[in-house]
Structure 1
Amino acid sequence: MTTPNELRLLPWSGPGDKPCYLSTDDPGGYVSRLADNIEAVQLGTAAELLEEVSKTLDDRDTDLTDLRRLVHDLTGALRDVLRVAASRGHLLAVSEPHRI
């Protein structure tokens, strides 16, 4: 949940690959739920690609075109996962008191 002056980094980007933010205090709102669902899909996709990479690297007969496609897909998944991590990390930092 965002506090009144906090923005949530959304799991998609806008024109020019610029970050998109949501300002709301309703974690159950439509856009908040949509963002939660998209984050879940992005994390699931990254997990599936990680499994595919493990299998592909073990296969010595994999051709260069397949490897390039996989690296391209992994790059996109890593970008998505980093955005989710940044968003969730920020939300945790805002919502939890600092403990020393």
Structure 2
Amino acid sequence: MGRLLLLVLVVLTAALLWRAFGPGSAERYGSLRGGQRGQVEQKPMIKGPDDDEEFLWNIEKNRFKERRAREEAERKRQEEEERRRRRGEG
């Protein structure tokens, strides 16, 4: 009985190892080594605007430009007010 159990365990182990590391395992489970068989790692697919780095960068850049323009307009307004006050005092 012990020999039969040992034989079943050996066969089961061989079958599991074949399934895990045998032919076709790379397609089933993904390759652990990048670049195998001439495969080139691809960029992840963009699924929406929140995944697109260029889109997000452009939004941030435009917000920065708008904020800079508002700050510049505020600075000019303050300078103009300062000039008016000086003219009124002088």
Superposed pair shares fold, TM > 0.5: no
TM-score, scaled relative to structure 1: 0.32
Counting strand residues as a fraction of each chain, which structure ranks higher?
1
Counting helix residues as a fraction of each chain, which structure ranks higher?
2
Structure having greater relative contact order (Cα 8 Å, sep ≥ 6): 1
TM-score, scaled relative to structure 2: 0.35
